[in-house]
Every structure is written in structure tokens, then in C-alpha cells.
Amino acid sequence: MDLKVHINNIHGSQMAAKITGKFTIDENEFRFTAIAFGRIGGQNIGAKLSQITEKELEKLGYNVDEVIDLLQRNLLQGDLTLPEGLTKESFVDD
């Protein structure tokens, strides 16, 4: 499964941050939200998809749990793109 993650916005700090963004799978684009504890590349993250997104993924033949797992893995590993002007360091506490 070729999943690519793009972050739209991050609100918060190193302790906890709310992330909004989108991900693509085989040229299909979907939105997500996530809560990160630590920073991207940190220790824990929980991604959430809307029921509409989950149903669309199922219609396309994807296993929703596998998609969420891969999305969270990409977020944890920092395998993503950020909007211009936002760097991973810009929301890390000193």
C-alpha cells in the first residue's frame, strides 16, 4: 500500500499536539486528525478518520485498521511532508 502523508497544521507543543492533514493512497486523498504525545518522530500518536472516510476506504477495498496503522507509523517515523514555513522544530519545546 503506497500511503503518503501531508500535514496541513499542527497546534500544540512537544507534550501534546493536534495535527490535521491529508493522506493519499493510490491517488485517492483523505483527511485525518491526530493527537501526538511527544513530537513527530516521538513516542505516541493516535490518528482518527471520519466514518465517511472509513466507508470510502472499505469501498475501495482497503482494511481500515491497516490504513490507520500505516498512517500512524508514517507520522511517528516522520515520513511526511509539511506546509511551507513549518518545520518539525517549530513546535518543539526548548
Per-residue pLDDT tens for 36-69? 886 555 578 899 999 999 999 999 999 999 999 9
Which of 1, 3, 2 lies closest to 75, judged by CA? 3
pLDDT at 29 over 90: yes
For residue 43, report the phi and psi dihedrals to the nearest 5 degrees: -95, -35
